[in-house]
A and B are shown apart, each in its own frame.
Chain A
Amino acid sequence: MAREEAGVGDGSAAGAGGGDGVVARLEGVRRLHRRGASEVRALDGVDLEVRRGEWLAVTGPSGSGKSTLLHVLGLLDRPTEGRYLLEGRDTAALDDAAASRLRGRSIGFVFQDFHLLPEETALRNVMLPLLYAGARGARERAMEALRSVGLEGRVEHRPGELSGGEQQRVAIARALVKEPVLVLADEPTGNLDSATGARVLDLLAALHARGITLVVVTHEPEVAARAGRRVEVRDGRIAAATGGGGAARR
C-alpha cells in the first residue's frame, strides 16, 4: 500500500506522450449500456482532444452523454469501444489500482451535487485524496487548499452545516489539493444561485490561471462562455465545436 507510482505529468511516460500539448485524447470512443435487448449509446463514437492548459466547456441537451464523457475522461468509467489516451498512455492498459491512483493524484472532480462524505468535516474531506495517495503533510496541505477557497473558518464543519456554495468550494479544494493535471467539473454551478455560482466559477478560473486543464460540463451559456473552447454533445457524439481556434476532430 505504500507503493508509490508516478502520477500523470511527473513521469517520463507523461512527457513522451504529452509533448504534443494534448492531455487527453479520445478516439472513436463508444460507451454502450445494454439492458436486455435494448442498447443505450451514451457515447457513440467520440473523438476529442483536451489540450494542456485549456478550459473546455462541454454543452448539450440532457441525456446527450456529457456526464458519461466526463466519467470516461476521469477514469471513472471505461469506454466500451475506442481508445482513450491520457498523457499519451493508453488507459486500457491501466488496471484498477493504477487508474485509482491516477484519479487520486492527478484528476480533480467537481460535481453538481458535490459528492462530499457527509459525516466527515470539510478538512477530512479535503484530506481524503492525500490519505489514499499516502502523501505527507495531508492536514497542512488540506488547510492550505481550504484557505485558498476562502473556507479557513469552516474546516471543522460537516457538509450538512455548510451552504451549497461552501460545499462546492470544499469540493474544489479537494480537487486542487491534489495539484491535478486535469480538473473535471460536471454542472459545478447547477445547484447554486447565480451569485454563488459566479464565485465558484471564479475559483475554477483561478485554477485555470494556475495552468490546470479544465473540462466543465454545463448547460448554462454564461458558464460555457467563460471557457476558451466549447464542444457540443448530441446523441453521444461531438456535434459542434467553437472557439479555441481548432475544432475537435471528427
Chain B
Amino acid sequence: MTAGALAGLALRSLRRRALRSALTALTAAVAVATVFATRGLLRGSEVALERDLHRLGTRTVQAVDGAGFVPGSGGARDPLGPADAAAVREGVRASGLGAEVVEARVRLGVASGPRPGGRPLPVPLVETVPAYGRTFDAEVLSGRFLEEGDLAPGAEPVCVLDAETARELGVAAAGAEVAVREAGGERRLRVAGILADPFSLRVSTFAPDLSAAARRSVHQLLVFRNLYLPRRPAAEGEPPGSLMIFAVARERGDAEALHGVLAGAVRAKERGVLVWSRGTWVRNIVETAGEQVQIANIIWAIVLLVALVMIATVTLVGVRERTAEVAVRRSEGATRRQVTLQLLLEGGMLAGAGGLLGLPLGWAAADRLSTLLTWAPFLDLREGVAAVGLGVAVGILAAALPARRAAGWEVVEGLRRGA
C-alpha cells in the first residue's frame, strides 16, 4: 500500500467525523496561533532591542577609568591622561584600522534650568568635541550637536542636553539657557541642542516590554542624562574629572581588533582601566534579554502541551469507538503498522490543517496585541512553517498512544464486539 493510499484512507476517516475533526483541528489552530503570535512578538521585541542597542554605537570601543562609567565611581589609581590618548592614537595609526579617536572628559556638576522652582540637578558634564556624536547614534530632537565653532576661543558658551536632562530642567527646545555650577564656579550656557533617547521605542515606563530588563541595565550603565560641553583647556582649580577615550571603527567587524589596540595602548590590565567594546556588550545584553524570553517560551510550550493532552484525549475516545472498524480493516489485510500509520497520519493531517488555520489567527492576534505594546511583532514565513511543524508534531504525538492501543487490539475481539 502506498503512502498516498494510506493518506486517502486517513482523510476519508477524518471527513466522516467532520465535527470532531473540526474541533480537534481548532485546538491545534489555537496552539499554533499562540506559538506563532508569541514567537513573533518575542522576535519583534528582540529585533527592536537590538536595533536600539546598535544605536549606542557598536562600532565604538572605549577606555574608561575603573569599573564605573559615572565619574567619581572609578577606582583606578593611575587614571587615564592625555598621554594615554596619544598612545591610543599612535596604536590605532600603527594598526592600520583607520579608526577615529575621540576624547571626552567627564566631571560631575549641578545644573539648573528655566523650570520655575526646579531643584538643581546633579548631572555628568561631558566635555568633548563634535566627533563625539559619532561614537553613538543618538538622534537630535531639537537644535544641533556640538560644532567646531563652539570650541573656538571666545565662542558663545553652549551645551547639548540629553532628552531626560532637558525634561528635568524644563528645557523644551534649543535656545533656552541653563546654569551649571561646579567647583570652579557657575556658568550660564545656551542650550544648542537636545538629543533623543537612543531607546526611542521606550514610550513609557509602564508600556509592556519583554526586553525592559535589558534596557534597564543599559540605563544603569550608560546615563542618558548628560550635559555635553565643548572641550576646553582645564581652568585653574577645576577638578580634572576622568578621561574617556573612544575609538570608532569604520566597520562593525573591526571593533574587536580595535579593542585589542586600545587595551594594549593604555596597558589596561596592569592599571585596572576598563576597555570595552560596545558590540560585545550589546550582544551580552541581547542574550540577557534572551533569557527573559525563555519565560514567554515556556508559556507557548505549555499551550502546546495542553493542546497535546486535549487532542490525545479526544483521539483516545475516538479510537475506542472504532474497534469494529479496525477489526474489519485488520481482517481485510491491514497490518498493525498500517493501522498505526493511518491514525498517526490522521493526527498529523488534522493538526496540520489546524495549523494552517492558526497562522492567520496568530497573525491577527499578534497584530492586535502590538497596538498595546511598544514594538512591532516580527512575523516571518519561517516562523510560520516552524509553528505549523510543531502543531503537526503535536498532532502525531497525540495520536501515538491511541494508535498504539488500536494496533494492539486482537482482531477477534473487535469482530466479536462490534456488529
Which A residues have a C-beta under 8 Å from some C-beta of B? 1-2, 71, 74, 76-77, 96-97, 100-101, 103-105, 109, 111, 113, 115-117, 119-120, 124, 128-129, 131-134, 174
Contact = CB atoms under 8 A, between A and B. Distances in A.
A27 B16 CA distance: 44
Interface string B322-342: 001101111111111110010
A185 to B, nearest CB: 13
B214 to A, nearest CB: 52
B3 interface: yes
A52 to B, nearest CB: 22
Contacts of A134: 1-2, 5
B9 A131 contact: yes
A113 B332 contact: no
B412 A71 contact: yes
B27 to A, nearest CB: 23
B76 interface: no
Nearest to B3: A1
Interface string B378-419: 000000000000000000000000000000001110010001
29 contacts: A1-B1, A1-B3, A1-B337, A2-B2, A74-B331, A76-B331, A77-B410, A77-B412, A96-B336, A97-B335, A97-B337, A100-B330, A100-B334, A104-B333, A104-B334, A105-B333, A113-B419, A115-B327, A115-B415, A116-B328, A117-B325, A124-B12, A128-B328, A128-B332, A132-B1, A132-B338, A133-B1, A134-B2, A134-B5
Nearest to B334: A132
Name which of A2, A129, A131, A133 has the most chain B CB atoms within 10 A of its CB: A131
A109 B331 contact: yes
A56 to B, nearest CB: 20
Interface of B: 1-3, 5-6, 9, 12, 16, 324-325, 327-338, 341, 410-412, 415, 419
Contacts of B333: 100-101, 103-105, 128-129, 132-133
Contacts of A117: 325, 328-329
A152 to B, nearest CB: 21
Contact of B329 (A1, A96, A113, A132): A132
B329 A128 contact: yes
A105 B9 CA distance: 19
A226 B42 CA distance: 77
B415 to A, nearest CB: 6
Contacts, number: 79
Nearest to A111: B415
Contacts of B419: 113
A96 B336 CA distance: 7
B332 A101 contact: no
Given A101-B335, A103-B333, A115 B328 contact: yes
Given A115-B331, A132-B329, A1 B6 contact: yes
Contacts of A119: 16
A77 B331 CA distance: 10
Given A116-B328, A119-B16, A132-B333, 9 more contacts: A96-B335, A96-B336, A100-B336, A109-B332, A115-B324, A115-B331, A131-B5, A132-B1, A134-B2
A1 B5 CA distance: 10
Contacts of A133: 1, 333
A109 B329 CA distance: 12
Contacts of B9: 131
Contacts of B12: 120, 124
A148 to B, nearest CB: 18
A2 B3 CA distance: 9
Nearest to B328: A115
B1 A103 contact: no
Name which of A2, A104, A109 has the most chain B CB atoms within 10 A of its CB: A104
